[in-house]
Amino acid sequence: QKEVEQNSGPLSVPEGAIASLNCTYSDRGSQSFFWYRQYSGKSPELIMSIYSNGDKEDGRFTAQLNKASQYVSLLIRDSQPSDSATYLCAVREGGGADGLTFGKGTHLIIQP
Protein backbone atom coordinates (compact mmCIF):
# COMPACT_ATOMS: atom_id res chain seq x y z
CA GLN A 1 0.00 0.00 0.00
CA LYS A 2 1.63 3.21 -1.19
CA GLU A 3 1.33 6.03 1.32
CA VAL A 4 2.07 9.72 1.21
CA GLU A 5 2.08 11.48 4.55
CA GLN A 6 1.65 15.17 5.26
CA ASN A 7 0.99 17.11 8.43
CA SER A 8 -2.60 18.29 8.04
CA GLY A 9 -1.97 21.57 9.89
CA PRO A 10 -3.13 24.20 9.95
CA LEU A 11 0.31 25.70 9.51
CA SER A 12 0.23 29.38 10.35
CA VAL A 13 2.99 31.63 8.96
CA PRO A 14 3.30 35.42 9.13
CA GLU A 15 3.17 37.34 5.89
CA GLY A 16 6.63 37.76 4.38
CA ALA A 17 8.10 34.74 6.16
CA ILE A 18 9.12 31.38 4.67
CA ALA A 19 6.52 28.63 4.74
CA SER A 20 7.93 25.10 4.85
CA LEU A 21 5.74 22.17 3.87
CA ASN A 22 6.87 18.58 4.27
CA CYS A 23 5.92 15.22 2.83
CA THR A 24 7.16 11.66 3.26
CA TYR A 25 6.36 8.68 1.06
CA SER A 26 6.51 4.95 1.60
CA ASP A 27 7.31 3.57 -1.85
CA ARG A 28 11.08 3.63 -2.31
CA GLY A 29 10.59 3.06 -6.04
CA SER A 30 8.84 6.41 -6.50
CA GLN A 31 10.33 8.48 -9.28
CA SER A 32 8.24 11.63 -9.76
CA PHE A 33 7.05 14.14 -7.19
CA PHE A 34 4.60 17.00 -7.44
CA TRP A 35 3.17 19.80 -5.33
CA TYR A 36 -0.36 21.01 -6.02
CA ARG A 37 -2.17 23.94 -4.44
CA GLN A 38 -5.90 23.67 -3.80
CA TYR A 39 -8.08 26.55 -2.68
CA SER A 40 -11.27 25.65 -0.85
CA GLY A 41 -13.91 24.41 -3.27
CA LYS A 42 -11.54 24.57 -6.23
CA SER A 43 -9.47 22.08 -8.21
CA PRO A 44 -5.79 21.25 -7.61
CA GLU A 45 -3.32 23.49 -9.42
CA LEU A 46 0.18 22.24 -10.23
CA ILE A 47 2.86 24.30 -8.47
CA MET A 48 6.06 22.31 -8.86
CA SER A 49 7.40 19.01 -10.13
CA ILE A 50 10.72 17.45 -9.13
CA TYR A 51 12.34 14.24 -10.31
CA SER A 52 15.93 14.19 -9.01
CA ASN A 53 17.57 14.75 -5.64
CA GLY A 54 18.29 18.32 -4.65
CA ASP A 55 16.52 21.62 -4.98
CA LYS A 56 14.41 23.06 -7.77
CA GLU A 57 13.46 26.72 -7.71
CA ASP A 58 10.63 28.50 -9.52
CA GLY A 59 9.99 32.07 -8.44
CA ARG A 60 9.08 32.12 -4.75
CA PHE A 61 8.76 28.33 -4.66
CA THR A 62 11.54 25.79 -4.02
CA ALA A 63 10.97 22.05 -4.05
CA GLN A 64 13.47 19.81 -2.29
CA LEU A 65 13.81 16.06 -2.80
CA ASN A 66 15.78 13.50 -0.79
CA LYS A 67 15.11 10.03 -2.14
CA ALA A 68 17.33 8.32 0.45
CA SER A 69 15.15 9.75 3.23
CA GLN A 70 11.96 9.43 1.14
CA TYR A 71 11.23 13.05 1.82
CA VAL A 72 10.07 15.95 -0.32
CA SER A 73 9.41 19.51 0.77
CA LEU A 74 8.11 22.80 -0.58
CA LEU A 75 9.40 26.17 0.56
CA ILE A 76 7.43 29.34 -0.14
CA ARG A 77 9.46 32.51 0.29
CA ASP A 78 7.96 35.92 1.01
CA SER A 79 4.61 34.31 1.87
CA GLN A 80 1.52 36.23 0.81
CA PRO A 81 -2.06 35.97 2.09
CA SER A 82 -2.98 34.62 -1.36
CA ASP A 83 -0.75 31.61 -0.63
CA SER A 84 -3.27 30.50 2.01
CA ALA A 85 -4.55 27.17 0.68
CA THR A 86 -4.17 23.43 1.07
CA TYR A 87 -0.95 22.07 -0.42
CA LEU A 88 -1.07 18.53 -1.76
CA CYS A 89 2.01 16.36 -2.17
CA ALA A 90 1.70 13.77 -4.94
CA VAL A 91 3.97 10.89 -5.88
CA ARG A 92 4.22 8.67 -8.94
CA GLU A 93 5.89 5.28 -8.72
CA GLY A 94 7.36 5.18 -12.18
CA GLY A 95 8.87 7.69 -14.54
CA GLY A 96 6.03 7.48 -17.00
CA ALA A 97 2.44 8.59 -16.97
CA ASP A 98 0.79 6.51 -14.28
CA GLY A 99 -1.70 7.91 -11.79
CA LEU A 100 -0.59 9.81 -8.71
CA THR A 101 -0.82 8.96 -5.03
CA PHE A 102 -1.74 12.03 -3.01
CA GLY A 103 -1.24 13.00 0.60
CA LYS A 104 -4.20 14.50 2.44
CA GLY A 105 -2.65 17.93 2.23
CA THR A 106 -1.39 20.62 4.58
CA HIS A 107 -3.62 23.59 5.26
CA LEU A 108 -1.46 26.73 5.14
CA ILE A 109 -2.60 30.03 6.59
CA ILE A 110 -0.60 33.20 5.93
CA GLN A 111 -1.33 35.79 8.59
CA PRO A 112 -1.34 39.42 7.34
Partner 1 sequence: NAGVMQNPRHLVRRRGQEARLRCSPMKGHSHVYWYRQLPEEGLKFMVYLQKENIIDESGMPKERFSAEFPKEGPSILRIQQVVRGDSAAYFCASSPGGSDTEAFFGQGTRLTVV
- Contacts with partner 1 by CB under 8 A lie at 31-32, 34, 36, 42-46, 49, 51, 88, 90, 95-105
- Nearer to partner 1 by C-beta: 36 or 84? 36
Contact 37, 87 (CB under 8 A): yes
* Closest distance to partner 1 from the beta carbon of 85 (Å): 14
* Closest distance to partner 1 from the beta carbon of 76 (Å): 19
- Nearer to partner 1 by C-beta: 32 or 70? 32
* Closest distance to partner 1 from the beta carbon of 4 (Å): 8
* SS3 assignment for 35-89: EEEECCCCCCEEEEEECCCEEEEECCEEEEEECCCCEEEEEECCCCHHHCEEEEE
Q: What gap in Å lies between CA 87 and CA 103, rounded to an integer?
A: 9
